[in-house]
Amino acid sequence: MNWRRIVAIILGIAAILSLLSQLGIFSAAGLSEYPWWLIWPLTISGLIGALMLWFLSGERSSESSASDSAPAQSSGASSDLADRDARIARLEAQLAEAQMASQDGGGDSAALASENASLRAENARLKDEIGETAATMHATERVEFRGKSQDDLNTMFGGDFIDGAMARHFAIDYVDSKGQPSQREILVYALVHRKGNLNLDSFPTDGYSCLTFRADRIQKLKDLQTGDVVTQDIGNWIAETSKARAAD
């Protein structure tokens, strides 16, 4: 019980005693009555104050219950977003496979084009639902690396792959979402803004699938093409130097 309800009870008792005094109960019991000038003000103010504080306390309790339930609702929303993110990742993997199949010239090209279009539509719908805006700075396709050489990728994309040359080649010290540090060497093929964060969509040089790395989780970066080493404001440095390279 909070202090408002305690005060409401005290005021209510005072109002009841005042009312009993008006009815002559105190006099009949041989007790002193309240002075006449105190009876009515005490009765009216006591009842009004008791009612106001009692109901105000009830409203505060309801607000507290609502605020307690908010984290649970937020947790449910986070789980829903995580599920959609996972579905987006699966769709993009399927898109990569469809793109590679199309490049290799295998299968029914019409069926592949239809499948690719439907996957892209579903992917865009999911991203729109979670409020993701993708502003890719360089128009390239999402494809699996599958051990292809830089020359192979150059051929696939008609020459310049990104930034007026091949993909940006970085060595990074990275900390993932679970706080696990790692050192990686990556080939960046697109810079994408997702939910307020700059992401590096990349080919790992020791792997086959596309990976994305958040720029704000990169602790240290070395540009293996120029030798530049960056430890601060890494995301802005990548964006600005990429724009400059693309303009050359």
What's the confidence (pLDDT) of residue 172? 92
What's the confidence (pLDDT) of residue 243? 77
What's the confidence (pLDDT) of residue 139? 32
> Quick one: pLDDT band at residue 28, thresholds 50, 70, 90?
low
pLDDT exceeds cutoff 90 at 199: no
Which residue, 209, 130, 107, 141, is CA-closest to 115?
Answer: 107
The model's pLDDT over 59-103, given as tens digits with 9 standing for 90+, comes to 555 555 544 444 444 455 456 656 666 666 666 666 666 666 665
User: Is the separation of the CB atoms in 210 and 142 below 8 Å?
Assistant: yes
Angle 147-240-194 (CA atoms, 0-180°, nearest 5)?
Answer: 65
Question: Three-class SS of residue 191?
Answer: strand
User: Is the separation of the CB atoms in 174 and 217 below 8 Å?
Assistant: yes
The model's pLDDT over 143-194, given as tens digits with 9 standing for 90+, comes to 444 455 555 555 554 433 444 334 678 899 998 878 888 888 888 877 777 7
- Measured CA to CA, the distance from residue 228 to residue 248 in angstroms comes to 18
User: Is the separation of the CB atoms in 109 and 99 below 8 Å?
Assistant: no
| pLDDT, mean of residues 188-214 | 73
pTM for this prediction: 0.37
